[in-house]
Amino acid sequence: MIRLLSSLLLFAALPAWADAVSDQLTAAGIVEFTAAYQAWDGARFGAAAELFRQASTNATANVTNFYWLGAAEFHRCLKLRPDPANAPAADAAMDAAVAALTTAAKLDESHAESHALLATLYGMKINGSLLRAAWFGPRVEQHRNLAMKFGATDPRVQYLLGMCQFHTAAKPADWHEALTTLLGAEKLFQAEDKVPAAPLEPRWGHDSCLTFTGLAYEKLGQPVAAADYFRRALALHPQDSLAQAGLKRVTGKQ
């Protein structure tokens, strides 16, 4: 009887133990993700993703773990994409991000940032192709609508949707639309920066929002405004390679 009771108590304690381990792994993953973001280090994004993957294994119904796994793989993809030699690894990171975020969205349909990331990833898959637009366009629209429904005042939602608009733009009106979204996101980031973050809460994206605002101004033929935003992005994140390259282009300084 004593053995039976002990076994039952141990069995009952297992979920709580798994959740505790999961939270520890997620917290460690966020520390690694933050360091990777500041250094813009693909290997460290990969290390963060592995910690989040372990966390999701310990708590398979925890949307936070899958969200962070998707965010880490998304940023690893962004780091790898500029170099054509890294194309297979970038594609694998993109697919891993889509898989993790799809799980997060299924676990919690109202998780706006997961939908915004999915809309952005599918927009990146389109990359100006009419054929891919026909295939991925409905998914972009679906996740964009859900992101706006549940997270219209979330700065990362607005930034990611602006980034998605940027990637799918084909004419000046589209660049203007992306710019409007990104400028709105910037105001939301400014408000968020004044409030302390809760544990496990995301606080990434402000500098990248400024970078894509600069890119939108560049596309619209406004190099002075573009340079201003690239400089502001670099003030927050000196390792931002997109902002570095953009500033060189619009100022002509190598």
List the chain domain ranges: 1-108
Position 247 pLDDT exceeds 60: yes
**What is the model's pTM?**
0.86
Give the pLDDT band of residue 126 (cuts 50, 70, 90): confident
Position 5 pLDDT exceeds 50: no
pLDDT per position as a tens digit, 79-103:
998 889 999 999 999 999 999 999 9
User: Which pLDDT value is given to residue 20?
Assistant: 73
> Of all residues in the chain, what percent carry a pLDDT higher than 70?
91
Mean pLDDT of the chain: 90
Position 10 pLDDT exceeds 70: no
User: Residue 221, Cβ neighbours under 10 Å: how many?
Assistant: 10
The token duo for 217 is 């101004």
